[in-house]
A = this chain, B = another copy of it.
């Protein structure tokens, strides 16, 4: 039997080139959408519906959803939440359903929406992602949200960290140049992710918005033991035994 492989796609724009049957797509938007989703699901949020447009998000408000939205790092006018992970930890959100639209992260999730298996990855739940993928033993595609369809460093670093562990297990192989690049970048940056990213384009954008605390949280590894997955109805929910059966 062929060993499962791991590939890295640097932006939603390139996803059609990497799409493959049966693969598990790990969507990552480290700063900050998928970190916030992990924080929310770990907090006890019931579900998160990723939506692409602001109007679509607003329409969920009428259905009783909490509406969360951000563009270019700032909370949208009239929205209850942006995509700060800390705002997703609010106890008031326990049991609630959220509709979320962000500049890059929700776009990445939607671009892969037809995939059979979508999970949500971030540094904060890296260990849970690894554990899930080692159990599944399926081909893995790390889909980086990037920045407006371009490559970004922080999502690539996550891809590198994940690839290193999957390859180290001996269960996975790769012949993908972008995976190799991600590994070299993570090895280079791992001792001080925050320092390495201080000149990155998106980090610089967020720095201007005084989001240092968010950034520190988003770059911390294994803070949460949670695996958000997309259920068959398109909601991001906590992985449970039942979800596994559905997959």
Contact = CB atoms under 8 A, between A and B. Distances in A.
Interface of A: 10-11, 13-14, 17-18, 147-153, 156, 175-178, 180-181, 184-185, 188-189, 199-202, 204
A149 B9 CA distance: 11
Contact of A177 (B13, B150, B176, B188): B150
User: In the assembly, how many copies of this chain are there?
Assistant: 2
A200 B156 CA distance: 18
18 contacts: A10-B151, A11-B14, A13-B14, A14-B150, A17-B149, A18-B150, A150-B177, A150-B178, A151-B178, A151-B181, A156-B181, A175-B201, A175-B204, A177-B201, A177-B202, A181-B181, A184-B184, A185-B185
B180 A200 contact: yes
Nearest to A147: B177
Given A184-B185, A185-B184, A14 B149 contact: yes
Contacts of A180: 153, 199-200
B10 A17 contact: no
Contacts of A13: 13-14, 17
A200 B177 contact: yes
A121 to B, nearest CB: 19
Contacts of A178: 150-151
Contacts of A151: 10, 177-178, 181
